[in-house]
Amino acid sequence: MSNKRNIMLPFLIGSSYPAILITFLYTGIAFRLSGHPSDVPFEEMAWIVPPLIGCAAVIASVLIRFYKISIGLTSLIVGGTLGLIMSSIGRFRYRLPTKIFGLRNKQSIWCIQ
Domain that holds residue 24: 2-112
pLDDT per residue as tens digits for the range 59-107 = 999 999 889 899 899 989 999 999 899 888 888 888 877 777 777 766 5
Q: Which residue has the higher pLDDT, 11 or 19?
A: 11
pLDDT per residue as tens digits for the range 34-68 = 777 777 777 777 788 888 889 999 999 999 988 98
Question: Distances in Å between the alpha carbon of 41 and those of 2, 15, 34, 75?
Answer: 38, 20, 15, 29
Structurally, the chain folds into a number of domains equal to: 1
Instruction: Tell me the pTM.
Output: 0.74
